[in-house]
Amino acid sequence: MKLGVAHPRTWNEDRGIGRMNRWMVAVGLLGLIGCSELPPSMTGKVPVDCMGLIDLDKDNVAGKWTKDDSGNLKTTTSPFGRCQVPYIPGEEYDVKVAAQRSNGTDGLVIGLVKGANQFAVVVDGATKAIGTGIDQLDKKSFVDNELACKKTFFADKVVNITIQVRNTSFVINVDGNDVLTWKDKEKVKDKDGKETEKETGKPIDYGRCTLIPNWKNPLGKCIFIGAFSEFTISSFQVINQKGGGKYLR
């Protein structure tokens, strides 16, 4: 190769440089428009580590919460004990929690946001009955509203909870089993004239969900984790399925 003469790039080199340039432009645009997350990778959606976002000096709202050497989040028995997470998820998302109850008989609470609405899901809550569901649906508790699941799940083992928040559906899954499904339905009559319900496929009304003042947080509408009994939480993630989330700090 002669000095002063540029060495021609191969086709593979040009293609690699083109990819790098496109990636750099995309990252730059995201920064300009204020997006807080990169696009999903080719292998799937990118989880947001909620426990990694929690600063106990700022986010321990009530009760005593700690992190052990493995990064697990722990709490002691406390009424309305909770930690806020400085994050608002996208339009549609999943929440995944792995937790084990180490003492007590009361439940785990997961605070959610959908649009302008903030509400809470209770798993294995113990009031006048043990139940799992959305708290304050139509201003009725998680064991009193139409979606209540009156089963117990925490029994000296780690329980894996997945909550799917969608425009047209809401699902709580515990250890691989759907225990609560909410979809918009209308009453229709079958061929025999009997009244039954039929799914409409329309968006469900999250405006029916409210949050009692005891669960409010300084950051306002955000994700949070709460408990009445002692729990060890080993994983707490949000996976956006539609739209990007927003970091509050």
Structural domain contains residue 35: no
Percent of the chain clearing pLDDT 90 (strictly above) = 69
H runs (alpha helix) in the chain: 11-33, 50-53, 56-59
Say how far residue 87 (Cα) sits from the centre of its chain.
10
Of residues 143 and 61, which shows the higher confidence score?
61
Of residues 12 and 186, which shows the higher confidence score?
186
Structural domain contains residue 22: no
Is the predicted pLDDT of residue 74 greater than 90, yes or no?
yes
For residue 24, name the pLDDT band (cuts at 50, 70, 90). very low
Structural domain contains residue 216: yes
Q: What is the pLDDT of residue 32?
A: 41
85 secondary structure, DSSP code: -
Structural domain contains residue 4: no
pLDDT, tens digit, 9 for 90 and up, residues 108-123: 999 999 999 999 999 9
User: Model's pTM, two decimal places?
Assistant: 0.81
Is the predicted pLDDT of residue 125 greater than 80, yes or no?
yes
For residues 170-176, average pLDDT: 98
Q: What is the mean pLDDT of the chain?
A: 86
Structural domain contains residue 161: yes
For residue 15, name the pLDDT band (cuts at 50, 70, 90). very low
> What residues contact 60, with CB distance under 8 A and at least 6 apart?
83
206-to-103, 119, 153, 154, 246 alpha-carbon distances in Å: 33, 9, 26, 27, 20
137 secondary structure, DSSP code: B
Is the predicted pLDDT of residue 94 greater than 50, yes or no?
yes
Is the predicted pLDDT of residue 198 greater than 70, yes or no?
yes
Q: What is the pLDDT of residue 156?
A: 84
Q: What is the pLDDT of residue 237?
A: 98
Is the predicted pLDDT of residue 128 greater than 80, yes or no?
no
| CATH number for position 220 | 2.60.120.200
Structural domain contains residue 38: no
Q: What is the pLDDT of residue 190?
A: 82
Of residues 24 and 88, which shows the higher confidence score?
88
Q: What is the pLDDT of residue 23?
A: 42
Structural domain contains residue 233: yes
Structural domain contains residue 2: no
Q: What is the pLDDT of residue 189?
A: 83
The boundaries of the domain holding residue 75 are 43-247
How many folded domains does the chain comprise? 1
